[in-house]
Structure 1
Amino acid sequence: MSDDQPTPTTAGYPWAPPDGTTASGPAAPVPYDAGIGHPTPAGAPYSRGYPTAPAPTGYPSPPTYPYGPGYPPAHGPVAYPGPRPYDGFAIAGFVLSFVGAVVLSIIFGVLGLVRTKGGRARGRGLAIASLVISSLWFVVGIGLVIYGATLGPVSTYTVGDCVRLSADADAGLDEGDAPTLPKVACSEPHNAEVYAAKNLPSGSYPGLDRVEQETFAYCESEYARFVGVPYDDSRLGFFIVYPEQIGWYTGDRKIACIVTAPEDVTSTLRGSAR
């Protein structure tokens, strides 16, 4: 085997002659790769044996949103719908229960319970309170009716009735009470007589002070018509009987005017001019 081998003609291979010559003459200069510190074969398209990445041209532009630059808003009616409103029926039932409108407050209270079931609206506590308060009103009303029935009618008098007024009854009248006075025949000893009476208009109770004022004005105006002289010129007196609130709820609307004598009489006081 001969030792004479042909000299490689391709530049840059490791078996190239160290002096850089070839069989046909000096080899072309080999470019130097500063990145790896040794020459790169001539015509080699890559450095270090890897493809060269294209140079970056800049970062991509940030995405745009319909809300303007930056991130979309984190809060809003879609993300956080806000507190639930109060139910109107529950509020109305609660208010009506305080003014004594029992029927309406019960109806609105029941509707409020239905509409607030499952947390669909606020106000369930108000609906429950309206039902409780209305029930208390109902119980109180029943109690007043029963109590008024046990007292009996306050004013059952008619004009011309003679009554016996005791000292205890007179004291009770001064305190605002209106007891049922025992009727007697006008020929028997008595000291009082009914001289005027009428019914007040129906409706809600006007209040104790107003009823008392209206009754007094009516009785004062009717005094002279029965006795025969004005009250200011008379030696007799009078007292009034009118319904209080309990009697009003039991149906009593009647007011009565009763003339009184300082001593017992056995005849009518009509036209006595005393």
Structure 2
Amino acid sequence: MSHRSRSLTFLCIGAALVSLGLSACFPVSLRPRSSSGGSSGGSSGGSSGPTSSVLDLYVGQCIQNPGVDSITDVENAVCTTEHWGEVFHVMTITSSQMPSEDDMDDMAWDACVDAFDAYVGRPYDESELDFTWYVPSQESWAEGDRAIQCIAFDRDGDSLYQPVRNSGL
């Protein structure tokens, strides 16, 4: 699927979520850019482990799939055991006013694609991985959240069992 058709597909999904009012319920919005449905479903592990606020995610952190019902917190995972994704880039929005959803999506797309090769060791277009991101919601922006976090995960929706940093996946 081309970047353009993938982007169009997920803009439609994003519009549907907004129309359902889901983005206003959570302090951070999930904006998927994958065809494998990376933002749906629950955790891909057995029991629940320690959690982190999505506001505190850091580069190199591995997590379980938060699904769509628990976007405020994510279950932490050890990168050498079964996990859903890995944070590979965090950028700060420098604008004094909150950008539109489309502008944040464009910023996130550009930042994630630009950081992908250096972190994973393979260009995004050639990778077995896909990515998604978290961006501030209106509520979290009002509280000072300015972070866009990029998360890599398996393109086919399978679990990862190793860190993606320098993996060449």
TM-score, normalization: structure 2?
A: 0.62
Q: Deviations over 1:187-245 (max 9, x none)?
A: 33102100110211151212221111111110011111111111111111110111121
2:81 counterpart (171, 188, 193): 188
Structure 1 position 178, deviation (Å): 4.6
Q: How many residues align?
A: 118
Matched residue type, 1:221: D
Structure-1 residue corresponding to 2:137: 244
Structure-2 residue corresponding to 1:163: 63
Q: Deviations over 1:112-157 (max 9, x none)?
A: xxxxxxxxxxxxxxxxxxxxxxxxxxxxxxxxxxx85xxx964321
Structure-1 residue corresponding to 2:20: none
Identity within the alignment, %: 26
The RMSD of aligned alpha carbons is: 2.4
Structure-2 residue corresponding to 1:209: 102
CA distance in 2 between partners of 1:153 and 1:207 (Å): 23
CA distance in 2 between partners of 1:198 and 1:265 (Å): 24
5+ residue gaps, structure 2, are 1-25, 28-51
Q: Which structure's CA Rg is the greater one?
A: 1
CA distance in 2 between partners of 1:180 and 1:153 (Å): 4
1:226 counterpart (107, 119, 134): 119
CA distance in 2 between partners of 1:181 and 1:255 (Å): 15
Structure-1 residue corresponding to 2:148: 255
CA distance in 1 between partners of 2:126 and 2:61 (Å): 24
Structure-2 residue corresponding to 1:126: none
CA distance in 1 between partners of 2:142 and 2:151 (Å): 24
Name the structure, 1 or 2, with higher relative contact order (CA <8 Å, separation 6+). Answer: 2
Higher strand share: 2
5+ residue gaps, structure 1, are 1-146
Tell whether the 8 Å contact from 1:193 to 1:258 is kept in structure 2 after alignment. Answer: yes
CA distance in 2 between partners of 1:223 and 1:249 (Å): 29
Structure 1 position 268, deviation (Å): 0.7
Q: Deviations over 1:24-69 (max 9, x none)?
A: xxxxxxxxxxxxxxxxxxxxxxxxxxxxxxxxxxxxxxxxxxxxxx
